[in-house]
Amino acid sequence: MILFPPAKVNIGLNVLGRRQDGFHEIETVMMPIALCDILELLPVDHFEFKQSGYPIEEDYESNLCVRAYNAMQAKYDIRPVYMHLIKNIPMGAGLGGGSSDAAAVLLGLDSLFNLHCSTSELADIAAQLGSDCPFFIKDEIQLAKGRGELLSPVDLDLTSYWIKLINPGIHISTKEAYENVVIDEASDLSEIIKSPVSKWKDNIGNAFERSVFQRYPEIKDIKKSLYEEGALYASMSGSGSTVFGIYTEEPKLSPNYSDQWVFKLNV
């Protein structure tokens, strides 16, 4: 079985405060995009995990794909599998690649072993793995609240637009980002997202940008350059460091970055 776990971008990200459980209360709209990892799943006699592409900076047992398999094996007593993950989505880039890979493992194992799990069952397991993981169980634009696990559909059609992403190769850990985030009074993203894309620039922001831009001015400069070349809306995704712009026409690639992508939006 071959799966293609997609990346995501955040359209707006409000950090509303720290919760009693140690997580932060957030509000964000997450959108899947065409940049994907590749995941192979194959039933075997002894479990094996292999990874290639962008390097993963974590030990074997902490890997989200391995943890996702272990969670499904513990609950449904499935047989071992061979997993080969090809990373096309950079790590620490605000694109949710690790969470997407974990969700793909859950979806893939459900299909491979005919478990007939409901969407809510898989989302509950995904929530135990990471705050972004439940989003990837459904391949659609969603509003995320709570610590990211409270999801609701968003009526938003962006299929006539293009998206350009630039990753400067700066790794920003989620822990580092939250330690420095500035918590502001946030507006109602669920209502503002309904306005035309041309209105988002002045009304939809990312709470991580202030502190990240101070430490990494290059990321701020990338956002500025996307607006200068005609983006209707530009933002850092998640806790960074990838920056994306949304355009009415296909944008050109920038000469200064090797890690960049241009796609027609399909959501």
Q: List, for residues 7-59, the tens digit of each pLDDT value.
A: 999 999 998 877 777 677 899 999 999 999 999 999 999 999 999 998 877 77
| pLDDT value of position 186 | 65
Average pLDDT over residues 162-176: 89
* More confident: 160 or 177: 160
Question: Has 132 been annotated as catalytic?
Answer: yes
Tell me the mean pLDDT in the region 73-92: 96
Catalytic residue among 110, 132, 164, 223: 132
**Which member of 8, 87, 164, 223 is catalytic?**
8
Specify whether 8 is catalytic.
yes
Q: pLDDT at position 85, please?
A: 97
Q: How confident is the model over 218-224, as a mean pLDDT?
A: 97
Considering the domain 162-264, what is its CATH architecture? Answer: 2-Layer Sandwich (3.30)
Architecture of domain 2-153 in this structure:
2-Layer Sandwich (3.30)
Average pLDDT (119-137) is: 95
Would the CATH topology of 2-153 be identical to that of 162-264? Answer: no
pTM value is: 0.94
Residue with tokens 């140690």: 22
Domain ranges of the chain: 2-153, 162-264
